[in-house]
Structure 1
């Protein structure tokens, strides 16, 4: 399989049928709506007449998501088994649409939002009360009302704090003043709370003494003693706690309404996506025009569904030819169609970049080489078996979304070559099996040679794919400079190595002349094809200098050997550690320890194999032929997070 061949299509209907058409297209999930504003202009054409408030559904969707996220904090604990085996309810698009009561859902959302705001307000009030309690608590030893002290006519009384330094210098200086009486109320490591009393006639002297000792006056806003004020605040704090508990109980009682909000969120999202698609059309008073893309193989299905949904005169389907300009500008969306085994490996291609419409889908080759690389880097039958078991259970038990299911299937497929290579290496959880074709630790050199041979084949295939692409475009100079020349050098390398190993000098001579001719061609072809011969010569020499990058590419493949050996060696080390433990420990805590260590080593091996295999694909393989830059095919989306739509294929 390959890149799906696309068909450009235009749909014309009356504005009154616009919502119905979008609903049908969203259910089918096989057409991408294009933005006509980029291509058509006209004074008599307007955007989106019937969708003045298209953003309302997006806002409702976002509010619903926030409410669900908030409610999840108050749901009852669910066992791990229940979480894993939980299934989304199944519905059709029509059933979902009919089950959502907008007013009821909005009322629930507003109720939760009001309770959330109420709880936030209570928490803010309680924090304010607790801050006041913290400030008053230090003064609880003061047995009189602070306001009554500061209101005395015969004495000037000040309440405040002074710094508490190491030797209480400021306190002692203030206390030594003969015109001032000082009473310590509290002391901590930072400050001392004091009551300062003086006669009104010494007000200026008092102020000077207080300033010299960094006195900070405290203003009490309470008409009771600090202790009484503290207790009053405590009662207020307890009441706020009770109020918050009532709000929390109300939120817990609303857990039964989560399903209603979830369905509404699904519906609001679907409507918002239709509204976004509606903005891409052109409308006048008589007609609405949509343009889009559909797979050629699904044109018949599209026409059939529209004929069954609309009367003959209600809609027109116009098929258009794809222009070269649209292909060159990468306007044609890309949809990959591959077999069940290859399809999960499309995500590797997508991570790098989708192919453009002018080239071939490399996913088949990616699948073959990625499985081989991953298996060699894992290199253990036990880890492969655990990967198989874990992914098998996940696929059978869990309700996985399409993306998650594709990733788990990806891991499940990789488990098979991993087990095969593990058997070839004779390794299971770092234990050497009584059989095996090659022992990585003892035959490291042999394994390195195998890795380099695999790398040779990998690069060879990449160059062949580049030649095919350039020849198809009739770009003969690029076909030689980027493909044939380097392929000839690689063939010469293989012949030369074979000649040395077999002791046949003529093969070495043949390899030498092939290499010389290929190198000369790499230098001269740019000279002949360039208007400026000098510049062409420089380009040719620079191209030939690229041989150094090929040396680096070959070295990169030694990681197939290195990571395979390291994973097995670490697993073996953990096993040795287990055997030297005292017997009582070995068969108690030691069992748990070895399981944890082996799982940890498996995780490291999985991560290394996943990343480094991808690196070999992206750099050493795609770098030889792949352009990418394609734009993904995007039909009108559905959410399907809380419900599985039976009549809608997930994308």
Structure 2
């Protein structure tokens, strides 16, 4: 339950062993490389140059993109299994060697060529359909034109045109043609918004006069490269669209036939993706004509195993050196916990990982997180739903480590909620008390009734908060001692303990009759003087030291604010109970009359309605209040607790290992 101790290693080996070593280290899953190429200007490394496998990485990425194309096109068209079934089934597990063996034996390039051809066919058909639909759209306004387009061109004595004109100019054009071009003809074929589609016919010998009138009225000619009447052309195009859709469906069905190849393609994807990762890892290394130099981090407990892996590949022809990680180095952080604390690592990581010189706060955080969440949700029925639901999910579904830890987290939180629910007498609100007339004695008179014992619950909340804050200060003392800053423990921890304790004794003297009143005054004065003398100690000038000390005294108000902040343990607990009770009242008001009517049909309807309303309303309340408890419990950890000692800023240990998108890679160690 701590930050894993890290070793820094430097490794020299012959270049011809690099590929095999990278394979071994990827399977080892326990080293994080340091980018030595950032230090290539160092005089000690001047005889080396940057290593790279960019050409190989590019080739693998090209192959990877082809496999990804196959997977994506199959995902688009084949029927997917439900999310529930996928969770039950889980990912397939293979060793890295098994993955390589299966991937290399898969004839995926043939599948790619065939799917690529089918995709091109689909693209061609879709483009054709789009073009046909566009042509139909442009022809539709002319569908009532009862002549073929070519007949307009065949006229010898006359000229005929179709086109568009603003609707407002139709009458004007008609009048001008009638007076200026004898025996001309204008017909409105259709109208669209502000434009009209028209036909104009006139004697060919009057072309110049007609052309001038037409242009002056904003007439725009329309030319269609078709033969036949518009309605006949539309019918032909519509028929071709139907045929096109049929052909598309046939291509899609032929793509679906490759469903049984999807798993093979996923294996090939994993193989090439990990080859890319392996090739890009070389960008961290340096090389000479014959050797490769690499550096990285490994946990102290895995150092011997690492050397054994290197020796297995290189025999005697290598050199490796291990050094303990120094606090000032940017050491990657790996947290290690037991079965209880490990699910809470995600809570710590959401804020920030600790630096290497700090302490892992998760063991303490986990205890208070469970305690506070239960107090906030505080309904035994809701807790049972969380606990049973997560246990079933853990049993039924095959989940990865992160998802299992998330469910375990809410299982623990559910158990705490059950505990506090029984303390407060809440079980789906007052469902077992007076809510539905069950009147179970304990739930009408619980150990602590928040509605009637507000001050008791508030006092508990403040006491828990004070303990939380004091432990935070204690952890600060531990970190300072770890870093051998012993006097800072006195200045930055002991003084606050004394000042805060004194103020509490001073303010709460009426509730602590056994404590001498003078003790609170003495501790308060001593603590405040200590803060005044020490909080500005890092300033250079006397004025700065005094100012820093005075400002440090102001920090006492933040402790008061922190203690008040723990009142949310009361507020959210009350909110959950009151809302649940209100929902029970709503169910009663809506269904009680039907259930007690004596009419069998009304009884059944009322009972069904009651169950539906009860389920829906309480599921809603669980969701809203569990989210609220999660957020506010996290806030108490991040601000009130972490604020007393925690700096964070650590970078997560990211080992060189296989990526696992579609399968789980089994470690052979």
When normalised by structure 2's length, the TM-score is 0.89
Matched, 1:72 2:75: yes
SS in 1 for 2:576: helix
Offset of 1:476 from its aligned partner?
A: 5.8
Rounded Cα–Cα distance in structure 2 between residues aligned with 1:417 and 1:36 = 49
Return the offset for 1:136.
0.6
Write out per-residue CA displacement over residues 352-386 of structure 1, whole angstroms, 9 at most, x where no aligned residue: 11111111111111101111111111111111111
Match of 2:364 in 1: 365
The residue that corresponds to 1:645 in the other structure is: 665
Matched, 1:378 2:377: yes
Aligned to 2:273: 269
Q: Structure 1 residues 202, 609: CA separation in 2 closer, same or farther (over 3 Å shift)? A: farther
Contact 1:579 1:586 in 2 (8 A): no
* Counterpart residue number, 2:636: 616
> What SS class does the counterpart of residue 395 from structure 1 fall into?
helix
Please state how far the C-alpha of 1:73 moved relative to its aligned partner. Answer: 2.7
Name the stretch that deviates more: 458-467 or 113-122.
113-122
| 3-state SS of 1:645 partner | strand
Distance 1:530 1:272 in 2: 53
Partner of residue 290 from structure 1, selected from 288, 294, 298: 294
Q: CA RMSD in A?
A: 2.5
Greater shift in the superposed pair: 173-182 or 551-560: 173-182
Q: 2:258 is paired with a residue of what secondary structure? A: helix
CA shift, 1:211, in A, is: 5.3
Q: 1: distance between equivalents of 2:393 and 2:566?
A: 32
| Aligned equivalents of 2:323, 2:502: Cα separation in 1 | 49
Q: CA deviation at 1:80?
A: 5.7
Structure 1 portions without partners, runs of 5+:
none
Q: Select 1:531's aligned residue among 531, 540, 554.
A: 540
Give 1:224's aligned residue: 228
1:347 is the counterpart of 2:346: yes
Partner of 2:17: 17
User: In structure 1, how many angstroms separate the alpha carbons of the residues matched to 2:209 and 2:631?
Assistant: 77
Q: CA 1:64/1:543 → structure 2, altered by over 3 Å: closer, same or farther?
A: farther
Mapped pair 1:315 → 2:324? no
| Residues 539, 548 of structure 2: 8 Å contact kept | no
Q: 1:294 to 1:225 in 2, by over 3 A?
A: same
Give, in whole Å, the separation in 1 of the partners of 2:455 and 2:114.
Answer: 70
CA distance in structure 2 between the partners assigned to 1:131 and 1:97 by the alignment: 50
- On the 8 A contact 1:345/1:410 being kept in 2, the answer is yes
Per-residue deviation, 1:441: 2.8
Q: 1:569-621 deviations in whole A, cap 9, x for unaligned? A: 22222221111224234322442232122111111122111111111111111
Q: Which moved more, 1:257-266 or 1:184-193?
A: 184-193
In the other structure, the counterpart of 1:513 is 522
SS at 1:543's partner residue? Answer: helix
Q: Which residue of 1 aligns with 2:611?
A: 591
Question: How has the CA–CA distance of structure 1 residues 527 and 379 changed in structure 2, closer, same or farther, with 3 Å as cutoff?
Answer: closer
Q: How far apart in 2 are the matches of 1:182 and 1:204? A: 17
Output the CA distance in 2 between the equivalents of 1:66 and 1:622. 47
Superposition deviation, residue 200 in structure 1: 4.9
Distance apart, 1:640 and its partner CA? 2.6
Cα gap change, 1:299 to 1:221, in 2 (>3 Å)? same
Secondary structure (helix, strand or coil) at the match of 2:114 reads: helix
The corresponding residue for 2:386 is: 387
Closer, same or farther in 2 for the Cα pair 1:202/1:537, shift >3 Å?
A: farther
Aligned equivalents of 1:148 and 1:469: distance in 2? Answer: 96
Are 1:495 and 2:516 an aligned pair? Answer: no
Structural mapping, 1:208-607, within 5 Å: 209-210=213-214, 214-307=218-311, 309-310=312-313, 312-322=315-325, 324=326, 327-329=327-329, 331-431=330-430, 433=432, 434=440, 435=442, 436-475=446-485, 478-480=488-490, 482-503=492-513, 507-582=516-591, 583=594, 584=602, 585-607=605-627
SS at match of 1:33: strand
Q: Give distance in 2, aligned partners of 1:120 and 1:478.
A: 71
| CA–CA distance in structure 2, aligned partners of residues 642 and 244 of structure 1 | 30
| CA shift in 2, pair 1:615/1:214, >3 Å | farther
Residue 54 of structure 1 aligns to a residue whose secondary structure is helix
Q: Secondary structure at the match of 1:629?
A: coil
Question: Which whole-Å CA distance do the structure 1 matches of 2:547 and 2:371 have between them?
Answer: 39
Bigger mean CA offset, 602-611 vs 173-182 = 173-182
The alpha carbon displacement at 1:474 in A equals 4.3
1:494 Cα deviation from its structure 2 partner: 2.9
Cα distance between partner residues in 2 of 1:603 and 1:59: 46
339-348 or 539-548, which deviates more: 539-548
- Pair 28,77 (structure 1): closer, same or farther in 2 beyond 3 Å: closer
Q: CA deviation at 1:51?
A: 5.8
Deviation readout 1:104-146 (Å, 9 max, x if unpaired): 2243334334433432332122112101111111211112123
Distance 1:456 1:527, change over 3 A: closer
- Given that 2:64 and 2:272 are in contact with CA atoms closer than 8 Å, whether structure 1 keeps it comes out as yes
> What is the CA deviation profile of residues 129-185 of structure 1, one whole-angstrom value per residue up to 9, with x for unaligned ones?
101111111211112123432564533433123345xxxx43333333324532121
Distance in 2 between residues matched to 1:217 and 1:197, nearest whole Å: 13
Task: Provide closer, same or farther for how the CA distance between residues 646 and 321 of structure 1 changes in structure 2, counting only shifts above 3 A.
Answer: closer
1:624-635 equivalences in 2 (<5 Å): 624-635=644-655
8 A Cα contact 2:163 2:198, kept in partner = yes
Give the 3 Å change call, closer, same or farther, for CA 8–145 of structure 1 in structure 2: same
Whether the 8 Å CA contact 1:15–1:50 is kept in 2: the answer is no
Distance in structure 1 (CA, Å) of the matches to 2:653 and 2:152:
79
**TM superposition shift of 1:480:** 4.9
Deviates more, 1:390-399 or 1:548-557: 548-557
Give the drift of 1:455: 1.4
Aligned twin of 2:598 = none
Q: Give the gaps of 5 or more residues in structure 2.
A: 433-439, 595-601
Residues 334, 355 of structure 1: 8 Å contact kept = yes
* Contact 1:161-1:191 at 8 Å conserved across structures: yes
Asked whether the 8 Å contact 2:357–2:483 carries over to 1, the reply is: no
Distance (Å, rounded) in 1 between the aligned partners of 2:406 and 2:511: 44
SS across alignment from 1:76: coil
